[in-house]
Amino acid sequence: MKTIGLIGGMSWESTATYYRYINEAVRDHLGGLASADVILNSLDFSNVVALQTADRWDEAGVLLGTAGAGLARAGADCVLICTNTMHLVADKVARMSGVPLIDIIDETAAALKADGRSRPLLLATRYTMEQGFYTRRMAAHGIDVLIPEADDRARVHGIIFNELCQGIIQDQSRSLLHEIIAASAERGADSVILGCTEIQLLIDAGELALPGYDSTAIHAAAAVRFALSGGKDEACRAAAERV
């Protein structure tokens, strides 16, 4: 089994979900007491948020790239950035890490394309919805991403940072997201991307008005496929084919 490197802590609420998803999948596919070989560097999210707020993305890229390089030195065979927003600096992190970076946007695009979806609504932080890096990457896969209206973007961003990243789950916020999703169908959306790794803490991708795609689960599954592929152990190879 290959070793998975996680750049986490952004927030730790969703990083904990990554750890659970990855280990549950490995146990399901290998059985018994099997668990994933994982190295985690959990960053102080307050430092990352300060760089985001100040629009200091180059510095944020160096911070995460340094974390990725450290994971590689520690033995990680791949790196995951355990957040959608910080994929804005994914290219720098990949270069500095020197090992394969499993990209959450590419993996989510692949899941959408496999199901014939081409016009998803994106629910995410305002950085992910407004900076353009996400929609451009999706467009390269032939996917036309919709984002909520400005007021709704602000509300979703607030739910993420003021509630979910702090472990707060509120029914009124869940209702608001469901309303935004329902309205998006009238704009031509054919699916929904839970494009912030914390949103799955609030709403279930399988219980939405449109087909939902949980980027956290998709990303974690891709990591497991990588970890179980290409090894000498026949059980790992067979398991990777089933993930």
Q: What is the pLDDT of residue 166?
A: 96
Confidence of residue 234 (pLDDT cuts 50, 70, 90): very low
The pLDDT tens digits of the residues spanning 77-90 come to 999 999 999 999 99
Q: What is the pLDDT of residue 201?
A: 97
Look up residue 146 and give its DSSP letter.
B
How many C-beta atoms lie closer than 10 Å to residue 132's C-beta? 11
Q: What is the pLDDT of residue 140?
A: 97
Going from the N-terminus, what domains does the chain have, and what CATH number goes with each? 4-103+217-242 (3.40.50.1860), 105-215 (3.40.50.1860)
- How far CA 201 is from CA of 14, 138, 156, 157, 219, in Å, comes to 8, 24, 14, 15, 15
Structure tokens at 45: 């999210």
Q: What is the pLDDT of residue 116?
A: 98
When pLDDT is averaged across residues 55-65 and rounded to a whole number, the result is 98
- For the annotated catalytic residues, the residue numbers are 83, 196
The pLDDT tens digits of the residues spanning 95-123 come to 999 999 999 999 999 999 999 999 999 99
Q: What is the pLDDT of residue 232?
A: 45
Structure tokens at 107: 């993996």
Using the predicted structure, report yes or no on whether residue 239 has a pLDDT greater than 60: no
When pLDDT is averaged across residues 15-37 and rounded to a whole number, the result is 97
Looking at the DSSP bridge assignments, the partners of residue 79 are 5, 101
Structure tokens at 17: 């979900």
pTM attached to this predicted model: 0.93
The pLDDT mean for the chain works out to 94
What is the helix (H) or strand (E) element at residue 72, kind and residue range? helix 57-73
Share of the chain above pLDDT 70, in %: 94
Strand order in the sheet with 191-194: 120-123, 191-194, 212-214
Q: What is the pLDDT of residue 2?
A: 98
Using the predicted structure, report yes or no on whether residue 23 has a pLDDT greater than 50: yes
Query: Between 241 and 127, whose confidence is greater?
Result: 127
Using the predicted structure, report yes or no on whether residue 54 has a pLDDT greater than 80: yes
Using the predicted structure, report yes or no on whether residue 242 has a pLDDT greater than 90: no
Using the predicted structure, report yes or no on whether residue 236 has a pLDDT greater than 70: no
CB 41 within 8 A of CB 67: yes
Q: What is the pLDDT of residue 183?
A: 94
